[in-house]
Amino acid sequence: MVANFMAGGAAINVFGRQNGIDIKIVDAGVNYDFDKEWNVIDAKVAHGTKSYLNDAAMTAEQFQLTIKRGADLVEQAHKDGTNIIGFGEMGIANTSSAAVLLHLLADVDLKECVGRGTGWDDEGLKRKYEILKSAVENYKGDSSIENIFAHFGGFEIVMIAGAMLKAAELKMIIMVDGFIITSALLAASKINPKVLEYCIFTHKSNENGHKHMLAHLNADAILDLGMRLGEGTGAAVAYPIIESAVNFLNQMASFEDAGVSNSDKVLNE
């Protein structure tokens, strides 16, 4: 999939080209070393996380490094002139991490959090739930957001959370896509609630847990198109609507500006 991104063949590449969005591909923890000519941004923390069934996905030191690398990437983007940013993801089993984070951070029943991901049948869904239930029961850490996030998060989710926190600090607009990205925001909002003031929720996921995330964050998504693409595609598709709203507010003349009289009469007619 990373090769597909770099070749321009993924869904996010299509929407990025269509809407003039600059796409950056970041390696947060792929179990592969990319050659420099790939032009993948190297932010790798390790070659994948550990299984959180019986152990923490990452160490405390790796967690802090991942947060910082996400923040550094956004700070550089801001210096380059960006004031609006969206995040996408491509990770294996990250709907599982998102489900557990929702369960523990928003106190939603685990069965309501676990969905079919990339297409589990009923038996697979049941097995997925049982594994995640065991992982939660095996967790011996405390209830701090940092420990929960380091134990169950993926490098991509934690890095996105760090990026979101820095984006809010820099007063950038954050486009929030789907279930995985909203799980990063959910965790980030527990670290600093003010991050929510800078967010626009772009697309509602078909994953059952996402409706619970949105409800917990008191948020409504702009779009509900039934897409199951990930990659930040919801943000890319919603971007022209956001741009239209900005242009509407900045450029449309009011009745006073346009010299329109008897505006009440005009509206009534």
Tell me the chain's radius of gyration from C-alpha atoms: 20
61 catalytic? Reply is no
Residue 102 neighbours by CB under 8 Å, 6+ apart: 108, 113, 183, 186, 209, 212, 213, 216
The side-by-side arrangement of strands in the sheet containing 199-203 is: 84-86, 173-177, 199-203
Q: Which residue of the set 37, 156, 231, 269 is catalytic?
A: 231
> How many angstroms separate the most distant Cα atoms in the chain?
71
Residue 84, CA distances (Å) to 10, 55, 88, 198 in order: 22, 37, 14, 10
Question: How many whole angstroms from its chain centre is CA 143?
Answer: 23
Residue 92 neighbours by CB under 8 Å, 6+ apart: none
Active site residues per annotation: 231
